[in-house]
């Protein structure tokens, strides 16, 4: 029998949580779910989520037992967070500090399980809703690899965000897939890499696809190649310093043709990093960057390290880097390879993406950081005078034990795992079923939907300012759509449209066919699995 501990294969102690822990899990679920479904700053529903989440965080702290020493450093972190908000209006640092400060005594696996169930549900659903046209999405037309192509957000604020979200989903899956043979891990990594390729087919985010690939390689080397463990133990301590040097020093010292090559490969990120590092001042707790005061209002900081240093300020940035360094050191020392791979993968991805420290609330590294910081705090406090170890517990109800079955997340986890178990037990049969339904659906789409020759986009997503305009009437639109042409976001007869032919409409046409095949195949597998389970239960 396998000794692998699955999502729901836990001890009786794992099935119990205190009211305080329950409160934290609810806080995390609210904040994480808001981002998992693509909400962002300024939206009413997102603001409501923040109020609910921060209220639950406050209750968690009041319901937990904390020493005076813990309350002191927790207060310092939160004060720094509020200082950043006052100076910059950026709330990401504060949110992550609440994640760290509130995690004491909370089971790490339950936090990761909550994240996996939320994102595992939200990610494919958001993609389905946007690709089917039920919900509008953010997308842009960009010139890449010699052609114009639509880069889809699939329900998220930007295609790069979509791909980084897939990176986090991959990390959550591999957190629970451990203690497997090298062959099994290779198969799982290939399967996740296939997902990476599919997501790339819609986002065309090169940096996102590379980040996922690098993480899968790191995870496989750390968890499945024992002989390389010592080497990786040394290398793991060098990853963050190398990332910092490349992100913060590289743009300043690399010159000439090499700079141009790197800048082009990173889609102008190197130049943008140099601009913010040289043209914007360093501050203690960050500053506002008003678009009208920048050299170009489109300038953004896509590098997490530049964002942390310039946008958040020197003091918060130093705190974050010290947290990362210590957590990587601690996990490496304990031999926690799966968690170490997550930390290193996030550090590498942060070179080209801003999600590490902004309000995306996707950086699962802070869960691991919080665990290690509280362990360190406990070690330090034991060496301090007794005053610092005096315990403060305001709401005593926080100690009440709650059966974790009361948590919806645990019940859903058990239900989902039953489905996955049934599918994996007959993976060949279900694999054949998926392939047949997928291919049949794609063929059916090609037969039913005419092949387009032109795609029309409106002004908002047009790539070229001097591209010829086309004015379309409602009758024109109806006639073109009947011929199979693709028309995106037509708003009326007074709005110019821009026509793109060649590979642009062909790629979009094939994407739609692929989406139909994937979702039909997946639906067929789930329905047959459920039907099989019901049939077996009736026979019993």
Q: How far apart are CA 141 and CA 11, in angstroms?
A: 51
In the predicted model, is pLDDT for residue 98 greater than 90?
Answer: yes
Contact between 116 and 175 (Cβ < 8 Å): yes
In the predicted model, is pLDDT for residue 6 greater than 50?
Answer: no
Q: Which of 178-187, 256-265, 399-408 has the lowest mean pLDDT?
A: 399-408
pLDDT in tens, 190-215: 999 999 999 999 999 999 999 999 99
Domain-wise residue ranges, the chain = 106-224, 228-385, 419-538
Q: How distant, in Å, are the alpha carbons of 178, 224, 341, 348, 353 from that of 218?
A: 14, 10, 6, 10, 18
DSSP notation for 314-326: HHHHHHHHHHHHH
Q: Would you state the structure tokens that stand for residue 522, as one six-digit string?
A: 């997946």
Q: The whole model's pTM is what?
A: 0.92
pLDDT over 90 percentage in the chain: 71
Q: How distant, in Å, are the alpha carbons of 16, 480, 516, 518 from that of 508?
A: 49, 16, 13, 15
In the predicted model, is pLDDT for residue 337 greater than 80?
Answer: yes
In the predicted model, is pLDDT for residue 97 greater than 90?
Answer: yes
- The more confident residue out of 404 and 147 is 147
Residue labelled with tokens 């942390």: 308
Contacting residues for 344 by C-beta, under 8 A, at least 6 apart = 215, 218, 236, 239, 328
Q: What is the pLDDT of residue 540?
A: 52
In the predicted model, is pLDDT for residue 369 greater than 90?
Answer: yes
Q: What is the DSSP letter of 136?
A: -
Contact between 476 and 427 (Cβ < 8 Å): no
Q: How far apart are CA 130 and CA 154, in angstroms?
A: 6
Long-range Cβ contacts of 338-343 (<8 Å, 24+ apart): 338/174, 338/175, 338/178, 338/219, 338/222, 338/223, 339/175, 339/368, 340/222, 340/236, 341/174, 341/215, 341/218, 341/219, 341/222, 341/223, 342/171, 342/174, 342/175, 342/215, 342/219, 342/368, 343/368
Q: What is the pLDDT of residue 296?
A: 61
pLDDT in tens, 247-258: 999 999 999 999
The alpha carbon of 103 is separated from its chain's Cα centroid by a whole number of angstroms, namely 20
pLDDT in tens, 278-289: 988 899 999 887
Q: Would you state the structure tokens that stand for residue 171, as one six-digit string?
A: 């990390």
């Amino acid at each position: 029998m396998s000794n692998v501990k699955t999502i729901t294969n836990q001890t009786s102690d794992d099935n119990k949580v205190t009211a305080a822990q329950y409160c934290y899990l609810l806080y995390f679920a609210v904040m994480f779910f808001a981002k998992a479904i693509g909400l962002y700053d300024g939206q009413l529903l997102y603001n409501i989520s923040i109020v609910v989440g921060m209220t639950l965080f406050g209750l968690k702290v009041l319901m937990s037992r904390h020493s005076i020493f813990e309350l002191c450093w927790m207060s310092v972190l939160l004060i720094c967070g509020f200082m950043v908000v006052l100076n910059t209006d950026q709330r990401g640092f504060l949110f992550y500090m609440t994640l760290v400060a509130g995690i004491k005594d909370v089971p790490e696996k339950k936090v990761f399980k909550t994240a996996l169930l939320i994102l595992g549900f939200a990610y494919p659903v958001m993609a389905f809703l946007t690709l089917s046209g039920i919900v509008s999405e953010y997308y842009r037309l960009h010139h890449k690899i010699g052609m114009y192509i639509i880069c889809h957000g699939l329900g998220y604020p930007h295609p790069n965000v979509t791909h980084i979200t897939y990176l986090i989903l991959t990390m959550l899956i591999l957190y629970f897939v451990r203690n497997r043979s090298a062959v099994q891990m290779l198969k799982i990594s290939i399967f996740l890499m296939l997902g990476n390729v599919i997501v790339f087919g819609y986002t065309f985010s090169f940096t996102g696809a590379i980040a996922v690939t690098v993480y899968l390689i790191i995870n496989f080397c750390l968890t499945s190649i024992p002989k390389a463990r010592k080497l990786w133990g040394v290398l793991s301590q060098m990853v963050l310093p190398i990332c910092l040097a490349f992100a913060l020093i590289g743009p300043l010292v690399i010159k000439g043709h090499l700079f141009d090559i790197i800048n082009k490969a990173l889609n102008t990120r190197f130049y943008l990093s140099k601009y913010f590092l040289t043209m914007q001042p360093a501050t203690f707790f960050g500053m506002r960057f008003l678009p009208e005061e920048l050299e170009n209002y489109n300038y953004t900081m896509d590098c997490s390290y530049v964002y942390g240093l310039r946008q958040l300020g020197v003091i918060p940035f130093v705190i974050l880097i010290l947290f990362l360094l210590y957590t990587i050191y601690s996990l490496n020392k304990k031999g926690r390879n799966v968690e170490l791979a997550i930390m290193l993968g996030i550090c590498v991805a942060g070179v080209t993406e801003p999600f590490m420290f902004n309000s995306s609330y996707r950086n699962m590294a802070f869960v691991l950081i919080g665990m290690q910081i509280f362990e360190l705090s406990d070690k330090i406090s034991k060496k301090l005078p007794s005053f610092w170890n005096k315990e403060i517990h305001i709401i005593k109800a926080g100690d009440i034990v709650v059966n974790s079955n009361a948590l919806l997340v645990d019940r859903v986890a058990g239900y989902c795992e039953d489905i996955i178990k049934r599918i994996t037990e007959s993976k060949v049969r279900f694999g054949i079923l998926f392939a047949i339904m997928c291919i049949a659906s794609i063929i059916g789409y090609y037969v039913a939907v005419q092949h387009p020759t032109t795609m029309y986009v409106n002004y908002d997503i047009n790539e070229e300012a001097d591209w010829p305009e086309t004015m379309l009437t409602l009758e024109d639109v109806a006639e073109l759509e009947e011929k199979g042409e693709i028309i995106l976001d037509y708003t009326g007869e007074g709005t110019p449209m821009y026509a793109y032919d060649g590979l642009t409409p062909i790629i979009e046409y094939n994407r739609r066919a692929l989406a139909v095949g994937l979702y039909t195949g997946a639906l067929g597998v789930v329905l047959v699995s459920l039907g099989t389970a019901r049939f077996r239960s009736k026979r019993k």
